[in-house]
Chain A
Amino acid sequence: MAAPMALRRQLCCLARIFSGSSHSGPRALGACSALRKCNIIRSHLPLPPSTSLHTATVFSSATPSSITVTEEPDTLFQKVSVLVKAHDRAVLDSYEFFSTMAAKELGITVNKVYEPPKDTERFTVLKSVHIFKKHRVQYEMRTHYRCIELSHITGSTAQVYLEYIQRNLPEGVAMAVTKTAMEKVPDHILEPIWDDHPIADKPSQ
């Protein structure tokens, strides 16, 4: 019992330290990963609110022990499709390089990366405030797309990868993630219930 309590204290102190410094340096590597670790653990362990601070705790010593493993089974995603939309093609090129490299480093299989054709929305408005109907001005908005399909990825890995990708999404870029999760046939659909209760007009569940 002493070990889990010590663990919780270390984590609480980490959270306090890094939440204090987080608004000064937004996405420094150390703070980011520590916060994420603390966030993940907060979802699994209920941290006591008033715990004494151990100011002598060092970040590196807490790293190996801050990962928790829960009993619930991981979701399995057969396909995760990430569609990114932006007004600028060059930004999407760079983002694609970043996300494919991140996927390769984390060991995620990239099925294919392709570029759906761009959409252009055009409209014509009057140039002048009053009269001059023959003089108009035309505007257009171009939306470029990029789609990255990942396959055979587990729930934890997907969460990590998607959070990393989304935190580094540049300004002016939108994303839509379509996840296809695989599940077993639930127990109540394996056998029909009418075998036990052969009455034909029993109300269905």
Chain B
Amino acid sequence: MASHTSKAFLSLGRINIPRLGLQKTASRVTYSTGLSVNSANKKKGFPERSGKGNFVKRPRRDEGEPRTKRMPVDQDWTAVYPAAAPFRSGSVPLPVRMGYPIKGGVPPEKRGNLELIKIPNFLHLTPAAIKKHCEALKPFCTEWPSALDTDAKCDEHFPIKVESTDYVSSGPSLRNPAARVVQLKVKLSSLNLDDHACKKLLKLVGERYCKDTDILSITTDSCPTRQQNYDYAMYILTALYHESWKTEAWEAEKTAADMEEYSWEDSQSQRNILDVLVRMKVAGEGEGEEVREQLLGRSEVQEYKDSVTRLKNEGESESTMLQYKEAVKKVLNL
């Protein structure tokens, strides 16, 4: 009894309790809420005994028959699944089974199957739906110009290729810093360059040129946005082009070691062959410049020159070595 009154004091707080009678009614009021569980139970049945206390389970409505039973065979499926939605077993009239089969049995049925709900489904993208969507999208598409059907024609009219990548993924941010990279590819044969300009450009560009495909690739990623990187790449191309046409004063100091290709004139090979021929006295007696020039004019010497240049520029192979052998045999009359 004493404990009840003390609880009543606590619940009522600062309210004055003048008489004992009032206290009793007050205490009864505080406990009436505690007793309400039992009165509610009589209507609904036993609550769970899991220790949750006042929790009451509502009775479940009986579910009706699934929609699939009333679906005609020739219905419009795009109306059932117009947009991406999770799998609803009552809306899909297919006898699908998914999951690991129970022992000695089959995979579980679709009703209440979590595996079917977890996996992304393409029920909203059936061929009929795709056709409908594409019919609506067709007015916004433009046609490819019919004159540019082969790659060769494309390269001829549009030689500059700009490559960039877009990324789509789910995450906290839309941005992908790798999307700012721009790669510009040009074939040097399509640019207006003369011999000296071409060689100077190759020297300026270095690693970025591929000799086999004659493509110069400029990759820019130093600016934060793609537009800026594209502008920078075009600027680099322009600067390279105009600089390669310019001839600076110090370019006259180009030595034989800087030359890109081997040239036979004024080379050690020319001097050697002429010395040998003069010593062999092929053109008759006498020494001097005229004899050497006469020797140079000979066809065997020209053949020898061609074979040596080819050997030095293209490297050693079956055909180049054979050609060199034939030329040497002719020149030295072996």
Contact = CB atoms under 8 A, between A and B. Distances in A.
Nearest to A186: B234
Q: What range describes how many residues of A lie at the interface?
A: 35 or more
A94 B242 CA distance: 52
Contacts of A173: 120
Interface of A: 25-29, 33, 36-37, 40, 67, 74, 76, 78, 88, 90-91, 94-95, 98, 101-102, 105-107, 152-157, 160-162, 164, 166, 168-186, 188-194, 200-201, 204-205
7 contacts: A26-B83, A101-B130, A162-B166, A171-B170, A179-B165, A185-B160, A205-B239
A25 B239 CA distance: 54
Contacts of B158: 76, 78, 182-184
Contacts of B160: 182-186
B82 interface: yes
Nearest to A74: B142
Contacts of B125: 94, 98, 168
B136 A172 contact: no
Interface centre among B133, B148, B169 (most CB of A within 10 A): B133
A152 B145 CA distance: 9
A174 B170 contact: yes
Contacts of A105: 130-131, 134-135
Interface stretch (B101-109, B243-251, B272-280, B284-292): B243-251
B254 to A, nearest CB: 16
A180 B183 CA distance: 9
Contacts of A205: 238-239, 242
Given A156-B141, A204-B243, A182 B166 contact: no
Nearest to B139: A67
Interface in B131-177: 131-145, 148-149, 151, 154, 157-170
Contact of A78 (B84, B139, B161): B161
